[in-house]
Each structure stands twice: as C-alpha cells, then as structure tokens.
Amino acid sequence: MGMMRRFFLIAACGLGGIVCTHAASADDEAAARSERWAELQRAIFPGRTISDGAGVIQLEAPPRALDAALVPFTIKLPSDKQIKSVFLVIDNNPGPLAGHFTFGAAADPRTLKVRMRVNTYTDVHAVAEDSAGKLYAVQKFVKASGGCSAPAGSNDEESARNLGRMKLKLVSDFAPGEPVQAQLMIRHPNFNGMQMDQLTRLYAPAHFIRTINITYDDQPVLRIESDIALSTDPVITFGFKPPRQGQLKVEVTDSKEQSFVREFSVPAATASSTL
Amino acid sequence: MRGLSLISRRHAVLGGFCLCCAPGLSRGADERNFFETTEIARGIHIRRGVDEIASVQNEGAIANIGFIVGQDSVAVLDSGGSLNDGERLRRSIMNLTDLPIRYVLMSHVHPDHIFGAGAFLQDKPAFVAHAQLPHALAQRGEYYRERLEEVLGRGNVGPIVQPTMLVSDRMQIELGGRSLELRAHPVAHTSSDLSVADSQTGTLFPSDLLFVGRAPSLDGSLKGWLRELSKLGSIHAKQQAVPGHGPASVNFASAASKLKQYLETLLRETRQAIANGVDIATAPETVAQSERKNWTLFDEYHGHNVTQAYKELEWE
C-alpha cells in the first residue's frame, strides 16, 4: 500500500514523463523502451537485482490492445519456486506500477488473470518475487488500441449505481483439498478523475480501488494493491486451495476510504452477492 | 513536405518530446479530394468519409459530415475529424452561401466527428450536443487529442471545443423554412449520441447510430444500441438517412437491418461465449466471425466490440 502510493506520486510528478514509444527509428524506440524500464526498476525496486524470469513467470498479453480501457493479462507461475508476490508494471502508463499481487497460504498462484487500462504503446513487465526476495522479470510489448477506444470507458454510471456489488464464479470443479480457479467480479468505476474543464467547470475527483483482500476461512489467499490502472468493474481470476467447504471473503477498500466486504459460500458460489 | 517533416522530427527528438511516427508521416495528405460534397436532398450537402482508419493521408476525413442550408442560416453536422477537415467543410459552405453558420452539431464524443469544430469558432455558432457530451469530453477529450496528434502531427488536430447548447431529451432548432428535430439518446453507440431529423425533407441523421458497410464500433451499450435502433426504425423506417459511415445517403430501414443483424449476432454469440466459459481474451477470436464478410475494417473494430459486449453482458 505504502509503496503503491509513494510510487504513484513519484510517477505523477513526472519521473521522465511518458517516454515516447514512437521514436524515429526501431533502434531509437528499443533504446527508449529499455531506458524507461531501467528508470522504472530504479524507482520501484531500488537497489535490487532483477533476473530473467524465463521458466519462472509467464506473461500473456494481446499484441495489440483491443480496448484501451480493458486489456486482459494472464500471469502464470509454472515452476516449483515459492513465489511470494507478483508486480505488474505497464511502463508507459501515467501510474506504471499497475498492481502488486501477494499470495497467501491458501493460494494456488499458478494462474492469475487481470484486466488493465493501457494508455499507449508500451512494454509490460511481470516481476515475480520469490520467498527469498529475489526478483524475476518477463516482458511483453503491447501496441495501443486505435479508433475511438479510450482508457476511460463510456458507460460508467452503471458501475457507480451498483458500487460494491460482487459476483464470484468457480471456473473449475470444486473438490476438497484440490486447487480451484475462481473469477471475482467487482462493480466499481475505478475512475481516474477528470481534468477541470475551463468552460463547463466540470470536474470529478478520482475514485479507485486501493486494495482487494481475499481470504478463505480466514486463511490469506490473495492481496491486491492497485490504483487507476485496474479496469472499470474489475474482474480477477485466481486460484485457491480450499481444504473443505467454506467461506471465501473479499474486502475491497477504495480511495474514498469506502470499504466493501462480501462473503461467498464455496462451492455454492455462483450467485452474486447482495448489498 | 518531406524536408519539413524531417526537420520537425529532428526537432522533436532534440527537444526531448514525442513526435509520433505513424507509418507515412514523412508524406503529407494524399492527392485525393476529400471535399466533394453531394446534395443528397434539397439544401443538405454531405461529404462522404473514406472507409479507412484516421491517417496523415486522409487527415481524419473518415466520417460522413456536412451541412444543412435554411432560408436564414446554416447548420453544420458533423464538423469533421481534424482542424483541416473542418476548415475544408467551412470553405465549401462559404463557396455555396453567404448565410451565417448558426449551429455546429456534435453528434457524439468520437474524434472523427468533432475535431473539425475548431474551424467554426470564428463564426460564433451554438455548438449543440447531447447533455452527456461535456462529461465524456472531460474524460476523453485530451486523450483523443493527444492520440490524434500522434497520427496527424502536432498542430493538425485542433482544439477540443465544448458544446454551448445541451440537449437532454428533445430540442428543435430553426434554420428558416426548415427546422431540425434533435434527439438525445440513452447510452447506445456511445453515451452521447444525438440524432437529427430535418422537417423539410424528412432526412434522418442518425450519425453513428447507423453504420453502413464499414464495421460499426460499439462504445456504449449493445442492448441500448439495439433499443435505439429499433426506436428510430419505428419513426423513420421509410426515410432517407445519412449514416455516420458509409454512403452519403441510404434508406433507413434496409441499412438498419444489416446493422441489427451484426449487433444481434454479437449479442447472441457473446452471451454464448460467456456461458461456455470462454474468457474475454479469447472471445474476440470466436464471436460473430460470420459477420466478417459484411463489413470493411472488420478486423480493426470487431475485437473491440466483442470486448465491449462481453463486459456489458457478463453481469447479466
């Protein structure tokens, strides 16, 4: 949490601004991109070494964002290495550290799916942190979406109206003691605020999710620290290991200090929560 | 042109800021005439947009834009996809009439329809739009301006012009001898769709509530769009319409039936994908592929539409 805030502030104060990814030549472009990542490593992971993550962590991303407001990413951890947490960095976003995902004792961290806003052409880095604190990174290049797509969705009244509503779906079969995949959906505008318009004086303050904390029968599963990079109405697919039937509990806190808590009975978890 | 762009690119690199390099930046606008207007009905002049994505070569002239001449004044609908596009539209109005330009209509938030508005500031018209447009522009205007600048080059995009007259349901404006009925729609193609009907000729201007031949883009609500399309059909079925993209003039009912088929296929197959557990990353590869043959630029827009439909329908 502290780290997310601190880093967001640094980025907002213009840590080199957004590096131009449309540089004049492919060489310049590649140089600008690796320069940007070097800069981000120093800011996000000061004094730490990052090794090549091949074999430790995989990042799946579309080569071109179809929708700037909603780009699906899948993070896979195929190895036996004990991975404590994963950082997702969208290098050229206004707030590059898009999310920090910390796995708990009841987690099955092998597959994690999230949806993020992607503002422009950018490298995206997934960084795994093992239990000894060593870091492993992989990267993907994502082309910006074209046309009328924008990082701010066009229909966010519905999320505001249903603020805090959640749905949980099991996407694989439940068996006690076996890992299971679940999809969590949260109604939240996750809104980055608007600039004051001189003519209309319209302005809306930012309103976004800071943390999502998921437990199963009080055992930690997943903790997410994020900010405006998370899409409107975030949807997160994650794995956990339920030793028996029980209660999956989700706590969400946002930038207005609101919190939303929902509990779902597992496996009977397909119904949506009521407010 | 070539020399100039090399200098400016060099300047941009030296200056440490971004001048973008969409393919073909070193060439200017091509030789095509983007400014042939057709009088599709008495006093209604339409410039057909090209079925392409915005580029340096087409200067953002990709939407159908035009103007309506009354006895007293002129209304512009829409203003175009760049400052240049708007300036050319303004010149073609000046060539045709001395009447004042009293209204510039802004059919919705998308850049290809509204970035020409800056060319008309000097005429001090009312800029007329859906009541949600200021909100949408505050969220997206600057982002669109920056992205379009990357494509068209610095200084070629034009300012973000805010509407000065807002329509929250219906409104009528008078041009002398003809009036325009404006209708603000609930969320459909976008959250700021304004349609216009001309009293004199019965012509409907659904703007991007109607796409003909060029792939539609969904940026509001799929279910809402189908509702508004059928609402317009119940009033204007037999009338001549000017789609936001496609031919300058079509019969509303027959053009709308093809769009309806696309949207209904998108609705049905996206629901099916969600029910089958196909995730949002792979749904664009499978949903509504049978529609590919019916639309140009299908691959540029369809994946986005499936993503939009998916996030709307997964909450059902």
Q: What is the mean pLDDT of residues B177-185?
A: 97
As a whole number of angstroms, the distance between CA A240 and CA A223 comes to: 12
Closest-approach residue (CA) in chain B for A147:
B53
Q: Which helix (H) or strand (E) holds B138?
A: helix B133-152
Q: Which residues pair with B296 in a beta bridge?
A: B214
As a whole number of angstroms, the distance between CA A73 and CA A140 comes to: 10
Assigned CATH topology for domain B37-313: Metallo-beta-lactamase; Chain A (3.60.15)
C-alpha distance from residue A72 to each of A125, B3, B196 (Å): 14, 41, 38
Query: Mutate which of B135, B207, B214 to test chain A, going by most A C-beta atoms within 10 A?
Result: B135
Taking an 8 Å cut-off on Cβ atoms, the answer to whether A154 and B300 are in contact is: no
Cα four-point dihedral sign A31, A37, A43, A49: negative
What is the average pLDDT value for chain A, to the nearest integer?
Answer: 86
φ and ψ at residue A96, rounded to 5 degrees:
-65, -35
Please enumerate in sequence order all residues whose Cβ is within 8 A of that of B64, keeping only pairs 6 or more positions apart, or say none.
B46, B47, B48, B49, B78, B242, B243, B244, B245, B246, B248
- Tell me: the pLDDT tens digits for A29-71? 889 999 999 999 999 999 999 999 999 999 999 999 999 999 9
Residue A203 banded pLDDT, cuts 50, 70, 90:
low
More confident residue, B171 or B237: B171
Please, are residues A189 and A159 in contact by the beta-carbon 8 Å criterion?
yes
Of B249, B281, B286, the residue nearest B269 (C-alpha): B286
CATH class of A2-266: mainly beta
Please enumerate in sequence order all residues whose Cβ is within 8 A of that of B59, keeping only pairs 6 or more positions apart, or say none.
B29, B34, B81, B82, B84, B85, B152, B156
Helix segments in chain A, DSSP class H: 2-12, 26-44, 157-161
Taking an 8 Å cut-off on Cβ atoms, the answer to whether B304 and A147 are in contact is: yes
Whether the CB of A271 is below 8 Å from some CB of chain B: the reply is no
Closest-approach residue (CA) in chain B for A29:
B21
- For residue B185, give the DSSP letter: P
Residue B150: list chain A partners with CB under 8 A: 22
Look at residue B34 in the predicted model and tell me its pLDDT: 65
Count of CB atoms within 10 A of residue A23's CB?
A: 21
Which ipTM was obtained for this model?
0.88
Task: Give domain limits for chain B.
Answer: 37-313
Residue B148 banded pLDDT, cuts 50, 70, 90:
very high
Residue A152 banded pLDDT, cuts 50, 70, 90:
confident
**Structure tokens belonging to residue A139:** 């990267």
Q: pTM of the entire structure?
A: 0.89
Residue A203: list chain B partners with CB under 8 A: 138
